[in-house]
Structure 1
């Protein structure tokens, strides 16, 4: 007998939300699209009619129509919506970050624990086949002595998005910081240098290019380079240098053309083109957690850890000094203490 599917209500129908709607409705095997919600009636109606599901501008109504919720609304609304879903007894998938500050994040995690529901955070790299294959063969590397991560958008986002994104490190660097923890281990020091080449970023006190240096508890080192505008394409890669082997995950090359003295190949334009399988699998995995009672691959504590490390990177950039961080084990994961000086 076929396993049941989980009816997911989708909140937020911007770029990411519309992608999630397509995946849940047409590509996920363990989930179905129950209903969609957005404060903009036209967006809600158009998506609902496209997939033949109920649409609403009432979040309470969305919660009534689903088994679980996927939150893909703007960052500033995440904490309120995740908390409301948890109190209604609905498991939640939430795009990163959970909230714009640490206190609000802790409040959300407490609400989730009190309600006893599943919370999975949208660190899609943990579900990409290339990165998962490295994680599964991690022992073959031996001791990882060096980590390198690169993440570059092709073109900068609109100024309106930048202002509400939470800042460069919490919006962009969290993915690389999560991958570093996942594949190498806990981090004990963060140093960051950043600049704003685009006046639009400088005008709001943000940056568009940075280098982050990590020291791991194991003794290994890490370097992350991140930027808002490569101009040539979307860049996302990871390298792990071990005492026994090295593993690299590069931007995939579909077709390469070779002509005299030259080789060329296409590049993805954005994260949607680079991670189609990962975005399907993360929601399928969330549905299986809800259905089968298994723990999520990336939890609220993982999101909090990446957020804390991003805060440390931001502080290092602003002060010009390394920031010591201390991973403190808990019963369910790790919480970071950041030096206060």
Structure 2
């Protein structure tokens, strides 16, 4: 029997990647598309050869699981609709527009006992798994600093500047939330939970939300992590820098700004010792290959088929949001803020 998946909401462009990924799997059937905008749903469905559904509860009942790729503000209502029918959910990042919505989504998922996966595509990048291996092996010694630069140039386009991403009521925030939540999840995955956050924000384009931001996170052992995000990067190279007492890691080609920059040597490692110097590891980031967000959809399908745990959980979504929320509070107060547990 084919796995029937419904796509709920197409406001986020990543819905296109998910649809293509689902359609590539012969064991999956996309049973329909629903969006609050019938025009958007119709255009999306025509693009991918899918059916449009106007009856949301009916579409959910026809499915075995749902994939939510709406504007962030609509996540809660769509999760509630899916949970009412007991359907597993794949949800676009960030989890919600604020802590209250994140907590409400977590409460619905827990009360209804549905399976839930948060979309964090960096979890499936082979370059990041290589970094995780190096850190587990203590190849860098004691890590003292990690810098993550993540962003794109979409803010330089009028279409983006007038889209729902810049409306805080629908998005929850600007680039710090939109792009920074990726970095927050990466930091949690690699190093665990930081204790405090500090941040500064700027809207260089005069948007209702920030288009450039820098946040710093401090860990109990003294490690500092810096997250720099922007919608105004015309171009860039290194995206991740990790510095330790015995070595360093540089990673390129893992965001839109850096994807065109280089064709080789994406992951570079420096080691102290007899053979001191830099070396490049033979790994190509998924983002560079052009197949990135699809891995989230495929992982969701695999977890549903195999019955195992979801590879990225709702708690991962809540904790990454908590880091960004603390950074926003710090920017507003002008002082470091604790990260809510």
CA distance in 1, matches of 2:319, 2:93: 12
Q: Secondary structure at the match of 2:128?
A: helix
1:240 — aligned with what?
A: 242
Q: How far does the alpha carbon of each residue in 1:167-194 deviate from its partner, in whole angstroms, 9 at most, with x for none? A: 1232231111111111111101111112
How many aligned residue pairs are there? 303
| Residues 30 and 287 in structure 1, CA contact (< 8 A), matched pair in contact too | no
Query: Which of 131, 134, 138 is the equivalent residue of 2:131?
Result: 134
Residue 324 (structure 1) shift:
2.3
CA distance in 2, matches of 1:209, 1:47: 30
Matches within 5 A, 1:247-326: 247-251=249-253, 252=259, 253=261, 255=263, 274=288, 276-325=290-339
Matches within 5 A, 1:160-199: 160-161=163-164, 162-163=166-167, 164-168=170-174, 169-199=176-206
Residue 29 (structure 1) shift:
6.5
Superposition misfits of 4+ residues, deviation over 6 angstroms: none
2:219 — aligned with what?
A: 216
Residue 273 (structure 1) shift:
6.4
The change in CA–CA distance for 1:46 and 1:214 in structure 2 (over 3 A counts) is: closer
1:75 — aligned with what?
A: 72
Residues 177-186 or 101-110, more deviating: 101-110
1:225 — aligned with what?
A: 228
RMSD over equivalenced CA pairs, Å: 2.4
Q: How far does the alpha carbon of each residue in 1:25-73 deviate from its partner, in whole angstroms, 9 at most, with x for none? A: 12x4664422211233344334445544432122212202211100001
Q: How far does the alpha carbon of each residue in 1:244-303 deviate from its partner, in whole angstroms, 9 at most, with x for none? A: 4322221155648xxxxxxxxxxxxxxx96574331211111112222221122211111
Find out whether 1:91 has 2:62 as its counterpart: no
Q: Secondary structure at the match of 1:55?
A: coil
Q: Secondary structure at the match of 1:278?
A: coil
| Gapped regions of structure 2 (runs ≥ 5) | 254-258, 265-285
Q: Secondary structure at the match of 1:187?
A: coil
| Residues 117 and 312 in structure 2, CA contact (< 8 A), matched pair in contact too | yes
Find out whether 1:8 has 2:14 as its counterpart: no
Residues 170-179 or 47-56, more deviating: 47-56
2:144 — aligned with what?
A: 145
The change in CA–CA distance for 1:34 and 1:132 in structure 2 (over 3 A counts) is: farther
CA distance in 1, matches of 2:319, 2:201: 21
